[in-house]
Amino acid sequence: MRVLYVIDSLIGGGAEHSLAHIAPGYTDQGVDLHVAFLKSRWDVADALRDAGAILHPTALDDRRPRQLLALVKLIRSLRPDVIHTTLWEADVLGRTAAVLTCKPVVSTFANSSYSAAQVRDPAVGRLKIRLAQGIDMITARAAVRFHAVSAPVADDMAKRMHVPRGRVVVVPRARRRDRLGEPTPARRAAVRDAIGIDESTRVVLAIARHEHEKGLDVLVDATKILHDRGRNLIVLVAGRQGRASEDLSSQVRASDLGETVRFLGARDDVADLIVASDVVAVPSRVEGLPGAVLEAMALERPVVASDLPMVREAVGEHAAGLIAVGDHVALAEALDLVLTTGARAHTIAARARFDRLFAPGPVADQMVCLYREAIDSSRWSRIHST
């Protein structure tokens, strides 16, 4: 089976890391994996190549008509059995190219998009969100199947995109434990030493780009409460800049947290940072199936997160704390409790759950089954139409 995976870029975000982690599982299944991407971001390129994927930079950072023509040319050359699209730009262009080349296409719902929380994002605006949703809905009619990273995302997106829920198949994201490594004391000490944090300092880690939906402003407000209590802690934020970066920096300065909250930018050592931390905070307003939660589970670090259905589906009953979305006081209390008492029982159970549900082999098996279903459905449709 030849699969052409079309994605916006190879930047080190959640969707891109998920593809890099699952790619070896595809090749183990005999999938001939090709990855087309539209922007000149290469963070996970080496991991994909190591897994046997063939990369196709497609009219990088050019105008959409040229990218569409380049995708059509690539599809006609490769003749894939199925096209898989992920993220908005890739969805719109990949689905359109699939129609023009008469190829079956599967699209991923990676997030609970077009929610009330996103509409309220001051950096985006209601009109832009609704326009994007309309374009998404029109091109989604080309997809023969949809992949959702969690059941809540499947339920939400089936309604918002007006597609039958039966055409949406839930397959979780995956992470490779061998790539993440082990949470040994020696590794923890080495990472802390490298970033200048002694063992007596408690470390809260957030892994998120600087966007309203990630709730980093809520974390800063919670940190202010803990700082005013005299807690000895550092908050590390690993993630690329975004539309909320300027506001977050201003918030930190206004709260006098310049020595407490550190914005690290995009990092390629997130697993090391998780090992060095005492708790992983996920204060998101919107999520799909958060990779930060999966990696924290694998590396035996407690998770304090917004009480979103997608988070509960990932961590089950093993979160150290689930708090109401946007409640910075509750977030401060939950973090304080974990930093004071620890959460060893939660982390052991969470790691067992990770091994059972999110290993790349079983996840790749499910995705290959979805591809076969999409191919068979497309063949049936062509026969039926004649």
DSSP summary character for residue 123 = T
Predicted local confidence at residue 379, as pLDDT: 66
pLDDT digits (tens, 9 = 90+) for 115-131: 887 777 777 778 888 99
Predicted local confidence at residue 268, as pLDDT: 87
Predicted local confidence at residue 316, as pLDDT: 84
Predicted local confidence at residue 61, as pLDDT: 74
Q: Which residues of 18-35 are buried (b: 16+ CB within 10 A; e: fewer)?
A: bbbbbbbbbeebebbbbb
Rounded mean pLDDT, 80-100: 97
Predicted local confidence at residue 383, as pLDDT: 45
Rounded mean pLDDT, 69-98: 97
DSSP bridge partners of 109? 148
Rounded to an integer, what is the distance from CA 169 to the centroid of its chain?
17
Positive or negative CA dihedral for 172, 177, 179, 182? positive
**Pairing verdict, β 261-265 and 321-323:** unpaired
CB atoms within 10 A of CB 90: 27
What order do you get walking across the sheet with 82-86 strand by strand? 54-57, 32-37, 2-7, 82-86, 105-109, 145-148, 168-170
pLDDT digits (tens, 9 = 90+) for 231-274: 999 999 999 999 999 999 999 999 999 999 999 999 989 999 99
Token couple for 296: 């924290």
Q: Which amino acid is residue 40, in one-letter code?
A: S
For the chain, the C-alpha Rg in angstroms (whole number) is 21
- CA–CA separation, 205 vs 27, rounded Å? 33
Residue 299 has pLDDT above 50, yes or no: yes
- Maximum distance among all Cα pairs of the chain, rounded to whole angstroms: 74
- Domains of the chain: residue spans and CATH: 2-174+359-385 (3.40.50.2000), 177-357 (3.40.50.2000)
If you count DSSP H runs as helices and E runs as strands, how many of each does the chain have, helices first? 17, 13
Closest CA to 382 of 5, 103, 183: 103
Residue recorded with tokens 């309309």: 134
Closest CA to 339 of 217, 216, 203: 203
Token couple for 292: 């930060």
Rounded mean pLDDT, 190-195: 95
CA atoms within 13 A on the CB side of 136: 24
Asked whether the beta carbons of 44 and 12 are under 8 A apart, the reply is yes
pLDDT digits (tens, 9 = 90+) for 166-179: 999 999 999 998 89
pTM: 0.87
Q: Which residues of 347-379 are buried (b: 16+ CB within 10 A; e: fewer)?
A: beebbebbeebbbbeebbeebbebbebbbeebe
Asked whether the beta carbons of 13 and 211 are under 8 A apart, the reply is no
CA atoms within 13 A on the CB side of 119: 8
Asked whether the beta carbons of 107 and 139 are under 8 A apart, the reply is no
Residue recorded with tokens 């089976």: 1
DSSP summary character for residue 11 = -
Predicted local confidence at residue 386, as pLDDT: 43
